[in-house]
A and B are shown apart, each in its own frame.
Chain A
């Protein structure tokens, strides 16, 4: 495309947006709200995921052994754990390492108090990819295993909570995107209508379908860009506000810093915004693209 044509398209697009100010404003507002809600949900789900992982509740089972086992028995148990289907990784924590961890977390010298006696058992941390109930059951069958700590109930509750949020989120997303599309389609239709005389003349003098439609597609893209950039900054502000509130009042919850995900959120917003704009304008222009 020649640069002077491009300049012409962009100029026409801004003119069109300005001419139908109310509709353009409506489009931008609706699409922006859609993106903010969408972003909010995504960030919520992401935070839940991260917190579940941090708590070690997901895909992880702690296995404590009997106290008086020989090293070779321990190694045998380790091998049995590794051979259970769906187990991906087994990590051993010796009772000495365990004691060290206790000392570090309590910040005192336990071994002195205990007079070198170690009351802790050997521990394995088992990671699995699927079928937690089955994995947990198999572990319980192994001889020498004293206690299996799987926290399955809590993990599953949180999982289903997360899944519930995701379902609500998908519905919201679908509805909001449809509403955004609808508003954009009507904005572009109005823009086409207000330029119908120009379009007639353009067709008679031999302007191509692309030349006629591209300014409108650009209009959709501009709506997408403005909505997503505004939405991004509002999301940023709101998220930081909530993050501060949560981290001061609920210290156990680990909230991701917005800075860490800024780029990702920005690309997501602009990408979805532009895509919605393009799809919306193409849908309202399909008639003109044909001839």
Chain B
């Protein structure tokens, strides 16, 4: 459960990126967040990741109250989230296997568990055959699937993707979107930020439209209006 209640975000330089945003997302939902550049989509993601704090209002994610959470709890909160970025952020000097294993190792998962789980996750994203390849040997779409596998590594409840198809060609984009839907069907809440109209229109899911830091539309099966 994600619940924004009148959340406002002003950056230190005075820019108000979000004005009193109220938004509720239930467990297991699939939501597109759309809007023009500068609308506040990334800011929304950063608040969810607790990379930034809301200036006012209340933001709840499951049992965590992000406005009140102390810093030392943040890592434990983040384990409930899996993040995917436009630029993949993979380690070029690590294999696919190692990239995924890394996410598990740094939260203290045992080597035995890692060995068991990594191939299973790579199977979910259809990359088992590339397990020992390095990122540079993969296409953009495949690299994004590795990033997705890494986001899934610690079995999060929520997947957050900020422009996941921004750097890959349209055909591969469909593949990534299909995977995100598949993951959603497996019971995870999925939030996808994008400004690719064709994708949003194609999938007919819930669409939240942001403009100048405000939600101007929130419809299931909504159409992306330019």
Q: How far is the CB of B14 from chain A (nearest CB, A)?
A: 24
- Give the contacting residue for B89; candidates A2, A4, A201, A207; CB below 8 A: A201
Alpha-carbon distance A277/B71, docked complex (angstroms): 26
A203 CB–B CB distance under 8 Å: yes
CB <8 Å contact, B107 and A197:
no
Given contacts A200-B89, A201-B89, are A209 and B75 in contact (CB under 8 A)? yes
For A261, list chain B residues within 8 Å (CB).
none
For B107, list chain A residues within 8 Å (CB).
205-208, 211
Alpha-carbon distance A4/B106, docked complex (angstroms): 11
- Give the contacting residue for B78; candidates A5, A8, A198, A205; CB below 8 A: A205
Chain A, residues 183-215, CB within 8 Å of chain B (1/0): the string is: 000000000000001101111111111011000
Chain A, residues 268-291, CB within 8 Å of chain B (1/0): the string is: 000000000000000000000011
Chain B, residues 64-86, CB within 8 Å of chain A (1/0): the string is: 00000001101111110101000
B150 CB–A CB distance under 8 Å: yes
- The total of chain A residues at the interface (CB under 8 A) is 20
For B106, list chain A residues within 8 Å (CB).
202, 205, 207, 211-212
For A203, list chain B residues within 8 Å (CB).
75, 78
The residue among B75, B110, B154 with the most chain A CB atoms within 10 A of its own CB is B75
Q: Which residue of A lies closest to B92 (CB)?
A: A197
Alpha-carbon distance A2/B110, docked complex (angstroms): 9
Q: Which residue of A lies closest to B84 (CB)?
A: A204
- The total of chain B residues at the interface (CB under 8 A) is 24
Q: How far is the CB of B145 from chain A (nearest CB, A)?
A: 16
Q: Which residue of B lies closest to A4 (CB)?
A: B111
Q: How far is the CB of A290 from chain B (nearest CB, A)?
A: 6
CB <8 Å contact, A204 and B78:
yes
Alpha-carbon distance A245/B113, docked complex (angstroms): 63
Alpha-carbon distance A212/B108, docked complex (angstroms): 11
CB <8 Å contact, B108 and A5:
yes
CB <8 Å contact, B108 and A205:
no
CB <8 Å contact, B105 and A8:
yes
B103 CB–A CB distance under 8 Å: yes
- Give the contacting residue for A204; candidates B71, B83, B110; CB below 8 A: B83
Alpha-carbon distance A160/B40, docked complex (angstroms): 72
Given contacts A4-B110, A4-B111, A291-B71, are A205 and B79 in contact (CB under 8 A)? yes
Alpha-carbon distance A2/B109, docked complex (angstroms): 9
Q: Which residue of A lies closest to B112 (CB)?
A: A4
Q: List 29 A-B contacts (CB under 8 A).
A: A4-B110, A4-B111, A5-B108, A197-B89, A198-B102, A201-B91, A203-B78, A204-B78, A204-B83, A205-B78, A205-B83, A205-B103, A205-B106, A205-B153, A206-B75, A206-B77, A206-B78, A206-B79, A206-B107, A206-B154, A207-B75, A207-B106, A208-B75, A208-B107, A211-B75, A211-B106, A211-B108, A212-B106, A291-B71
Known: A206-B154, A209-B72. 12 other contacts (CB 8 A): A2-B108, A198-B91, A201-B91, A204-B83, A205-B78, A205-B83, A205-B106, A206-B75, A206-B77, A206-B79, A207-B106, A291-B71
Lowest 5 A-B CB distances belong to which pairs?
A206-B79, A206-B78, A207-B106, A205-B103, A291-B71
Interface residues of A (CB under 8 A from B): 2, 4-5, 8, 197-198, 200-209, 211-212, 290-291
Interface residues of B (CB under 8 A from A): 49, 71-72, 74-79, 81, 83, 89, 91, 102-103, 105-108, 110-111, 150, 153-154
